[in-house]
Structure 1
Amino acid sequence: MSHVKRFQSIPMSKSMRGLCKEEDYAFLETSGSSTEGYTEDKVALEDDWKDKKEVWACRHLEWEHQEKERLRGIEESKKEKEQQWRTHIAEVTSNQKKTLQDRLTRLHRFREFQRRILAEEEEMEGVAVDQLFPGITGHQD
């Protein structure tokens, strides 16, 4: 007992030393029982710590799952928007092609109309000149 050696230098009466020994033994007895309580408390604390760690691990897994779901949702949204954009571009392109084709058709009709009118005018001019001036053109009836 190291405490005995430590306290020998302190001047006190024999009765006082006896009281101190009794207190020491009383303390040691309670500390022995408190050691049992300490180990039980230690076990309880370890169990609480393990429970908290498990709860934290569950929360962490849940958070990771939610984060993956959120990222997947964002990715799906991006893909959907990209698909909508492609569809929109395809529709615009199709409408532009149709418009250009319609304009080309109208232009061809107009050119045909111009040719027909010019041909009719040339015929009318040739007939009109022949009828008006039969001798000039070299045709004699």
Structure 2
Amino acid sequence: MAHEKIFAGIPMSKCMRDMCKEEDYVFLNGQTKPDKTTGYSMFQDSEWQQQREERLRRRLEREQQEQERQRELEEQQKKKEEEWKFHVSKLASERESLRERLHRLREFRDFQKRVLVQDLGLDPDKPNEKLTQLLMRL
């Protein structure tokens, strides 16, 4: 790009410009004013350096933001896993308490049945409608 600016001031036809290459104008580098070129190139170098530093800074910021985002995602995932484990353990404990309650109720029902059979003087081996109706009322 710099050679285009330098050689743009040289009068020649479009056809000639197309045929000529940067290598053809190497001799012109010695003819330019050293003060103007040096100052221009130093300005260009410092500008290029600033742009490079800016790109590096932006890249580092993006990397930090990405790391922060990854860390937040991991924290959210861990939180969800902990909530899920708590939920599952809560359900398991509820299920276990329901099983225990069901077992106690069945034992009590069996106890009621035995007491009624004894009180009524019925045969415990035979099914009886009267006994069934009494148990349903209780």
TM-score w.r.t. the length of structure 2 is 0.64
Cross-structure match for 1:122: 110
Cross-structure match for 2:39: 51
Task: Give the drift of 1:47.
Answer: 0.6
Cross-structure match for 2:101: 113
Task: Give the drift of 1:46.
Answer: 1.0
SS in 2 for 1:47: helix
Partners of 1:136 and 1:108 in 2: CA distance: 32
Partners of 1:54 and 1:104 in 2: CA distance: 74
Unaligned runs of 5+ residues in structure 2 are: 1-29, 126-138
Task: Give the drift of 1:135.
Answer: 7.7
Partners of 1:136 and 1:57 in 2: CA distance: 107
Partners of 1:122 and 1:89 in 2: CA distance: 49
Q: Deviations along 1:14-43, whole A, 9 cap, x unmatched?
A: xxxxxxxxxxxxxxxxxxxxxxxxxxxx99
Q: Highest CA radius of gyration, 1 or 2?
A: 1
TM-score w.r.t. the length of structure 1 is 0.63
Structure 1 pair 130/121, CA: closer, same or farther in 2 (3 Å)? same
Q: Deviations along 1:69-91, whole A, 9 cap, x unmatched?
A: 01101111110000010001001
Cross-structure match for 1:82: 70
Unaligned runs of 5+ residues in structure 1 are: 1-41
Provide the aligned C-alpha RMSD in A. 2.2
**Aligned partner of 2:89 among 94, 97, 101:** 101
Cross-structure match for 1:38: none
Taking CA–CA contacts closer than 8 Å with sequence separation of 6 or more, which of the two structures ends up with the larger relative contact order? Answer: 2
Task: Give the drift of 1:45.
Answer: 2.2
